[in-house]
Structure 1
Amino acid sequence: MQRKSLWMLLSFALLLGALLVWLQRGDGIARQAERQLLLPALAGQLEKVRALEIRHGELPRIRIVREGDAWVVPDKAGYPAAAGEVNRLLRALAAARKVEAKTRNPDNHARLGLAEAGEGAATRLTLEGLGGAPQVLLIGQASRQGGQLVRWPDDAQVWLVDQPLALVDNELAWLDRRIAEIPFASVREVAVRHADGERLRAGRDSAEQFNLNLLDLPAGRRLAYEGALNSMAALFSSLDFADAASLAQVAFDGRPELEFVVRTFAGGELQGRFYLRGGQHWLVLGESRGLGAQLIGQRDWAYRLEAPQYAVLARRAGELLAPRE
């Protein structure tokens, strides 16, 4: 009896030892996988990526394609993409390392934003050009520990990686929305003409003069406050659009609601005109010279500006003058 009990205890100990070895082996494999690069094929090979696609659930895809040294959005008539955002994403993907293996249970995927479809669907990122078939990564929620939860479409294993990879699923956010970046200090004059013929010219004599003046100031009148016209020049220091449409796809009839000219001390000039369509203000750029990289927008496109942006430029002298004394 004692011998039988001894054999039972010995067998149990051997079984327990084998189980412990197996568990340690599995844990070792998991630890070995941790800190590995998420996309080793991308490391040092960013220039090989020819295209990327972003798709969240049933929303339309966002496709961005490399053309030479630039990125463009084909579905937006080839408009330039925000290269800084694209390169930031690629650098983050190339640097991303697996930090920790999370759940393998598919029932948890939707809760983590990593489901294939439906509620809790992941953002699907596709990279093309790295050799072989396109690489597809499912991107889920950001982790409270920092980093992002991800997995591969054919693998239930969820991984925490050490880089934030949240992707905006709005096409507009991936466009280069800059129209102009003309430094405020370089602007000599801004002139506007309304559809009814009223004109306004704001300007200054030198770059050392901070405030713009009303160049056609009526006799005996003064501005309501110093700097009342500065916003007209400052608008062009960081002018972004709210939407864009190719002039090959949209036409504007009738007279512009507003025309403008911006002139710089260095001899640069930008002309443009606004059209009112559906209650929205659309800017079409005209002739320009001497602005170089300060002008990013294109003449064959129309740019929708927000109402407050338009209002800054569509000033009238009467609203800028102090009451008569």
Structure 2
Amino acid sequence: MQPRNFLMLAGIAGVSVILATAALVMQDRPLVSTSLDQPLAPTLAPRINDVVRIDVSGPDGAASLERKEDAGWVVAQKNGFAADEQAIVGLLRKLGTLRIVEAKTALPERLPRLELGDPAAPDSRSRRILLQDAAGEVVADLVVGKRAFGVFGPGRTGTYVRLADDNQAWLTDAEITLPTSAAEWISSEVIDIAPERVKLVSLEPQDGVLVTTSRAGPEATQFDLAGVPAKEAADQAKLEELSQVLSQLTLLDVRPAQEVAFPDVPERVRVETFDGLTVVLTWISLPDASWLRVGSVTADSTASAEVKEEAARLAARTDGWVFHVGGYVTEQLGQTLDDLLVKPEES
């Protein structure tokens, strides 16, 4: 090879390396500035408090959220059961302050790449959210697409969004999570009795053989288990787990009570607290789901006003409903005396 040709090839190779390195550097550099720092929907923020209905739809179904004067936010598909108000308020605030950062494609055939295609199309991954006021007027109508992880640097995520009547896609400055299943919008934490409050748990199976565990006071670390045979011992770890069963109990779904048939003599559990609250539950474990029903909630006459309010609130919130809970809950409630004893190999 002639020296001149060698020098030309070496120069080209050097330029290629420089360009490749620059491309990698630019690829890893977060997007920090742009001329498109403006609201996606300028009229939304001033009207955010006017929103009384939210319709979301997407690959997991559809949900309609309605704001009632006497009940707050509810889920229409769940017969008006309470919605997760914190999640709704957080979403509305985020949409109200959402700002566009960068213009993306406006070509309809490219929108599905950003999960911004027609939400009604088969196999679409896009999600639509429609906000309306009390008169039924549209406050905002958006299509929400995929998230852009790390686009603003480590730990900061954006979301691709467009107006429903406009094909122009935008990269926005916030991470938007938009569930479209009605069950994901219910207020999932209905019962929450802290373990340190629990005085007694009584498991009352259909066969009538009671399993009762209790402790002497809130500071006690050991539980008593009634009926422990001689030379046997209660498994304190399992008893402690049992005392936690109604702590931040998470609901997977909810139905009107008449839609789930319970036996005439169902499995029952009674939980009493040191401050005078008593909750009686019934439950049933079916092949496809485990269901819990609150039979009664009462407060002792000597209980504080706060506990009496809690009892009334819990009774009102659960009356007429049955709750789909994780199978681990009914496994706990279905334990026998033998299940709560220390096994020989554990001694």
TM-score (norm 1): 0.82
Q: Which residue is equivalent to 1:138?
A: 143
Q: Which residue is equivalent to 2:291?
A: 282
Q: 1:105 to 1:322 in 2, by over 3 A?
A: closer
| 1:200-249 deviation line (CA, Å, top 9, x unaligned) | 111101100133221333344312x4332011111111112222210243
Q: Distance in 2 between matches of 1:130 and 1:165?
A: 25
Q: Distance in 1 between matches of 2:177 and 2:252?
A: 22
Structure 2 gaps, min length 5: 1-33, 152-156, 300-306
| 1:69-112 deviation line (CA, Å, top 9, x unaligned) | 61101121101111111111111101211111111222210111
1:125 aligns with 2:129: yes
Q: Which residue is equivalent to 1:99?
A: 101
Q: Distance in 2 between matches of 1:264 and 1:44?
A: 46
Q: Is the 8 A contact 1:109 1:120 kept in 2?
A: no
1:151 aligns with 2:162: yes
Q: Distance in 1 between matches of 2:262 and 2:39?
A: 52
> One-letter code of the match for 1:62?
A
Q: Distance in 2 between matches of 1:323 and 1:89?
A: 50
Deviation at 1:311, TM superposition (A): 0.8
Which runs of structure 2 are paired with 1:168-179 in the superposition (5 Å)?
168-179=179-190
> One-letter code of the match for 2:67?
R
Q: 1:80 to 1:120 in 2, by over 3 A?
A: same
Q: Which residue is equivalent to 1:50?
A: 52
Mean Cα displacement is larger for which, 273-282 or 195-204? 273-282
Q: Is the 8 A contact 1:81 1:175 kept in 2?
A: yes
The percentage of aligned residue pairs carrying the same residue is 25
Residue from 97, 110, 113 that aligns with 1:111: 113
Task: Report the secondary structure of 1:218's partner residue.
Answer: coil
Task: Report the secondary structure of 1:46's partner residue.
Answer: helix
Deviation at 1:130, TM superposition (A): 8.2
> One-letter code of the match for 1:138?
V
Which runs of structure 2 are paired with 1:214-233 in the superposition (5 Å)?
214-223=225-234, 225-233=235-243
Structure 1 gaps, min length 5: 1-30
Deviation at 1:321, TM superposition (A): 2.0
Q: Is the 8 A contact 1:49 1:130 kept in 2?
A: yes
Q: Which residue is equivalent to 2:177?
A: 166
> One-letter code of the match for 1:127?
L
Residue from 242, 245, 264 that aligns with 1:254: 264
Mean Cα displacement is larger for which, 129-138 or 310-319? 129-138
Q: Is the 8 A contact 2:61 2:181 kept in 1?
A: no
Q: Which of the two has higher C-alpha Rg?
A: 1
Q: Is the 8 A contact 1:41 1:130 kept in 2?
A: no
Deviation at 1:278, TM superposition (A): 4.3
| 1:279-303 deviation line (CA, Å, top 9, x unaligned) | 6432111111235448485021111
Residue from 207, 217, 222 that aligns with 1:211: 222
Q: Is the 8 A contact 1:242 1:304 kept in 2?
A: yes
Mean Cα displacement is larger for which, 143-152 or 115-124? 115-124
Q: Is the 8 A contact 1:211 1:227 kept in 2?
A: no
CA RMSD of aligned residues (A): 2.3
Which runs of structure 2 are paired with 1:7-18 in the superposition (5 Å)?
none
| 1:142-186 deviation line (CA, Å, top 9, x unaligned) | 113121101112222111110111312222111112231111101
Q: Distance in 1 between matches of 2:342 and 2:82?
A: 44
Deviation at 1:40, TM superposition (A): 2.6
Q: Is the 8 A contact 1:284 1:301 kept in 2?
A: yes
Q: Is the 8 A contact 1:54 1:123 kept in 2?
A: yes
Q: Is the 8 A contact 1:271 1:285 kept in 2?
A: yes
How many residue pairs match? The answer is 291
Q: Distance in 2 between matches of 1:47 and 1:212?
A: 50
Q: 1:179 to 1:127 in 2, by over 3 A?
A: same
1:236 aligns with 2:246: yes
Q: Distance in 1 between matches of 2:259 and 2:104?
A: 48
> One-letter code of the match for 1:91?
R
